[in-house]
Amino acid sequence: MNPEPSAVDTIIDTVSAVFMVVGAVMSLGAAIGLLRFPDLMSRMHAATKPQVLGLFLLLASVGLQLRTWWVWPVLFVAWIFQVLTVPVSAHMVGRAGYRTKHLHRELLTTDELEAVVQKAADKKTADRPDSGRQDPDKRAAHDDGPADDGAPA
């Protein structure tokens, strides 16, 4: 009942060839997006394509070409670690990009982070006069705040 092995081989080869070409096109799309998009945030959007979907397609083509079962868990581990670590670096780059104002505000539709950043900045400027005066009650009251601005002059 099974189709003959050569037909199955041809189908698997075709599928993995399509996966390889599409995964390479993901990298090309990321490069085009890096060159053409206007600011850091939209370039970050383009940069995630080869990191997640492109790597998935290429690892799947490796697994299809090797035709062994034990290699799939290793490929899955590689992809899972990529999916776990890419958001960390994207979060840090996006956070630093927002704080250092590497973005075009006119391109944003909404900005939910602005209120949080403004509140933290207000709190920091409100805390600043206390640090010179060394009032023990006020310093004890502010101990639950951020610890990075507590250097007394």
Partner 1 sequence: MMEVVLTVTAVILSLAAAGAIVRIAIGPSLLDRVLASDVLLAIIGATLCIDMAVNRHLNNLMLLVALSIIGFIGSVTVARFVADRREHPNES
Residues within the interface to partner 1 (CB under 8 A): 13-14, 16-17, 20-21, 23-25, 27-28, 30-32, 34-35, 39-40, 43-44, 47, 50-51, 54-55, 58-59, 61-62, 64-66, 71, 74-75, 77-79, 81-82, 85-86, 88-89, 92-93, 95-97, 99-102, 104
At closest approach, how far in Å is the CB of 71 from partner 1?
7
Nearest CA to 26 out of 40, 47, 45 is that of 47
Judged by beta carbon, residue 65 or residue 131, the one nearer partner 1 is 65
Encoded tokens for 58: 């290429």
Judged by beta carbon, residue 64 or residue 142, the one nearer partner 1 is 64
Cα–Cα distance, 116 to 106 (Å, whole number): 19
Judged by beta carbon, residue 14 or residue 118, the one nearer partner 1 is 14
Judged by beta carbon, residue 30 or residue 142, the one nearer partner 1 is 30
At closest approach, how far in Å is the CB of 126 from partner 1?
23
At closest approach, how far in Å is the CB of 129 from partner 1?
25
Residue 19, Cβ density class (10 Å: 0-12 exposed, 13-18 middle, ≥19 buried): buried
At closest approach, how far in Å is the CB of 122 from partner 1?
20
Cα–Cα distance, 90 to 133 (Å, whole number): 40
Cα–Cα distance, 35 to 60 (Å, whole number): 28
Q: What is the DSSP secondary-structure string of 53-108?
A: IIHHHHHHHHHHHH--STHHHHHHHHHHHHHHHHHHHHHHHHHHHHHTT-S-GGG-
At closest approach, how far in Å is the CB of 112 from partner 1?
20
